[in-house]
């Protein structure tokens, strides 16, 4: 059980307003039971940031500023300690050590409730020593949270962003050549969820009563095999799809030629199939009857005319 929330603490702080954070903020602020929401932004004079600040302010969202990458744990703790709930939407792009630092700051601030940035795979199932070195840091975060009983925590596992399946750099779907490359095998599963759905579902998890606490909550927009993905691309594009199977051995060998390449790390992890997929039927959204976007629905909306 979390400690009693100090009376001076206010509302929910969302760290970051990118694709994920922006959708979480939008979903929270649009609810009938909308809580007070504040966003932590990196200080910047760029026109894009000015437009973002104006947009958030117009929506009634508060703004605080700090650079997560350069701030000390103590400095971050001072900021986070102003809020009873903190939702981190800052991912791996912030650099190694960032996830631990934010978590250390949240625990030091004795935040009542903390949602770490774990909006992805099931790191427990994958375990330590995976092809993606930063995944071990995510397990460090889980260990830190489970080792204490002052701050309640909720981990939201979503699979990959649906759009990431179709990212050219990821290499699974090549629209230019109408090719689909299966990671591991054609029968390997992958769970995907759109950022919009993650925002809505995370807001629902935050506001659910009785409160969800100290557990991993699974979401899924869809869980499909790469064979089903190739079929979707073929049906959506109305053209024959070339299909290649990239085995685990092939992808590990590929990673060995450039061990620092992030996309190679991701491909090798997803090819192994552990912790990257779960049945949609048992997810928070399915149990509560909350509709989500399937891969086929996403493809029909976004793929026509591309490539």
Task: Classify 289 as helix, strand or coil.
Answer: coil
Asked whether the predicted pLDDT for residue 307 surpasses 70, the reply is no
Q: What is the mean pLDDT of residues 46-65?
A: 92
pLDDT score for 8: 57
- CATH code for 162-190+224-274+293-302? 3.90.25
Condensed to tens digits (0 to 9), the pLDDT of residues 214-250 reads 999 999 999 999 999 999 999 999 999 999 999 999 9
Condensed to tens digits (0 to 9), the pLDDT of residues 11-29 reads 999 999 999 999 999 999 9
**Which CATH superfamily hosts domain 12-160+192-218?**
NAD(P)-binding Rossmann-like Domain (3.40.50.720)
With pLDDT > 90 as the criterion, what percentage of the chain qualifies? 91
Q: What is the mean pLDDT of residues 181-199?
A: 98
Cα-trace Rg, the chain: 20
Q: What is the mean pLDDT of residues 182-190?
A: 98
* Burial of 305: CB neighbours in 10 Å, binned 0-12, 13-18, 19+: exposed
Mean pLDDT for the chain overall: 94
**Omega cis (within 30) before 210:** yes
Cα-based torsion angle of the residue sequence 65, 70, 75, 78 in order, rounded to the nearest 10 degrees = 40
Condensed to tens digits (0 to 9), the pLDDT of residues 128-159 reads 999 999 999 999 999 999 999 999 999 999 99
DSSP bridge pairs for 15: 40, 88
End-to-end CA distance of the chain: 52
Q: Could you tell me which residues come within 8 angstroms of residue 17 by beta carbon, excluding any fewer than 6 positions away?
A: 25, 39, 41, 52, 56, 89
- Dist CA 3 CA 149 (whole Å): 8
Q: What is the mean pLDDT of residues 91-119?
A: 94
- Dist CA 306 CA 239 (whole Å): 13
pLDDT score for 5: 40
Q: Which residue spans of the chain are classified as CATH 3.90.25?
A: 162-190+224-274+293-302
Cβ 194 vs Cβ 292: under 8 Å:
yes
Q: What is the mean pLDDT of residues 266-271?
A: 98
pLDDT score for 306: 60
Cβ 237 vs Cβ 303: under 8 Å:
yes
- Dist CA 50 CA 46 (whole Å): 6
Q: What is the mean pLDDT of residues 300-305?
A: 84
Cα–Cα distance list, 67 to 15, 86, 279 (Å): 10, 16, 38
pLDDT score for 45: 86
153: nearest Cα among 161, 142, 164: 142
Q: What is the mean pLDDT of residues 283-305?
A: 94
Q: Which residue spans of the chain are classified as CATH 3.40.50.720?
A: 12-160+192-218
Asked whether the predicted pLDDT for residue 116 surpasses 90, the reply is yes
Asked whether the predicted pLDDT for residue 1 surpasses 80, the reply is no
pLDDT band at 93 (very low <50, low <70, confident <90, very high): confident
pLDDT score for 68: 94
């Amino acid at each position: 059980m979390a400690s009693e929330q100090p009376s001076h603490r206010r509302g929910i702080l969302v760290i970051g307003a990118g694709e994920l954070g922006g959708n979480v903020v939008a979903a929270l602020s649009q609810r009938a039971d909308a809580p007070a929401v504040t966003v932590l932004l990196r200080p910047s004079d760029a026109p894009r940031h000015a437009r973002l600040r104006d947009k958030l302010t117009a929506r009634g969202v508060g703004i605080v500023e700090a650079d997560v990458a350069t701030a000390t744990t103590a400095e971050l703790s001072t900021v986070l300690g102003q809020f009873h709930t903190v939702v981190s939407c800052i991912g791996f792009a912030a650099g190694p050590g960032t996830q631990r630092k934010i978590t250390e700051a949240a625990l030091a601030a004795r935040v009542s409730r903390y949602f770490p940035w774990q909006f992805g795979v099931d790191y427990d199932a994958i375990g330590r020593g995976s092809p993606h070195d930063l995944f071990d840091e995510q397990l460090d975060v889980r260990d830190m949270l489970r080792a204490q009983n002052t701050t309640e925590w909720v981990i939201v596992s979503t699979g990959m962003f649906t759009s990431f399946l179709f990212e050219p750099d990821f290499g699974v779907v090549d629209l230019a050549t109408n090719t689909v490359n299966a990671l591991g095998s054609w029968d390997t599963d992958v769970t995907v969820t759109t950022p919009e759905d993650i925002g809505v579902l995370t807001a629902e998890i935050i506001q659910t009563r009785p409160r969800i606490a100290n557990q991993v909550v699974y979401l899924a927009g869809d869980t499909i095999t790469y064979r089903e993905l190739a079929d979707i691309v073929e049906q959506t594009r109305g053209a024959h799809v070339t299909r290649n199977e990239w085995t685990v051995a092939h992808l590990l060998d590929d990673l060995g030629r450039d061990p620092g390449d992030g996309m190679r790390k991701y491909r090798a992890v997803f090819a192994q199939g552990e912790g990257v997929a779960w049945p949609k039927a048992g997810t928070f959204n399915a149990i509560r009857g909350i509709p989500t976007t399937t891969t086929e629905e996403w493809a029909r909306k976004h793929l026509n005319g591309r490539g």
